[in-house]
Amino acid sequence: MHPRTTSLASNGRIAERLHEAARLLEAQGASPYRVKAFREAARGIASHPRAVRQVFAQQGVKGLDAIPGVGLGIAAAIAEMLPTGRWSLLERLRAGADPVAVFQAVPGMGPSLARRIRASLRIATLEELYEAAHDGRLESLPGVGARRVRAWRAILGDMLASSST
């Protein structure tokens, strides 16, 4: 198994993806119950004492479904993520969202800042946001400091890596 796949399959990483899906769904006006389901599943995965990969290897989708907050649909989504790190629903949500909604999926970026980045830097994708985090454009915006940009570099790197595997 590729070491990158192992790190992508950690409970924390899976929980981050579920939270990202919840944020994107919420930004796109999805049912609040669906948004809540993804958030509850993320909390259940993040706090689960066993590695999700191990649960799946031993008990399959039914074992994932038994984790508090995780239903069969989300268990199937986790099973999709485990072998490759990819999740088709998240990829579709990222592709279908307007740039401001996509930017808001980045932890620590609210709607006001996302709109300001979109308007000031004229960028529309996570890839462009990643480039702006590395070339100094993000730090040039008032209210965006170096520490925040360093955190976003790491987060965006992880988000983009999960899309390209």
pLDDT in tens, 148-163: 999 999 888 877 775 5
Position with higher pLDDT, 59 vs 92: 59
Domain tally, the chain = 2
State the average pLDDT for the chain: 86
Residues 46-75 have pLDDT tens digits of: 999 999 999 999 999 999 999 999 999 999
* CATH number, position 74: 1.10.150.110
Is-contact 141 122, C-beta < 8 A?
no
Please state whether the predicted TM-score (pTM) of the whole model is above 0.75: no
Residue indicated by tokens 């066993």: 50
Question: Alpha-carbon distance 102 to 70, whole Å?
Answer: 24
Instruction: Say if residue 20 is in the same domain as residue 88.
Output: yes
Q: Residue 125 has what pLDDT?
A: 82
Residue 85 pLDDT exceeds 50: yes
For residues 30-61, b (16+ Cβ closer than 10 Å) or e, as one string?
Answer: eeeeebebbbbbbbbbbebeeebbebbeeeeb
% the chain with pLDDT above 70 = 92
Instruction: Say if residue 61 is in the same domain as residue 125.
Output: no
Residue indicated by tokens 């992880």: 158
Residue 94 pLDDT exceeds 80: no
Domain with 133, as residue range(s), is: 98-164
Confidence of residue 127 (pLDDT cuts 50, 70, 90): confident
For residues 7-17, b (16+ Cβ closer than 10 Å) or e, as one string?
Answer: ebbebebbbbb
Instruction: Say if residue 84 is in the same domain as residue 102.
Output: no
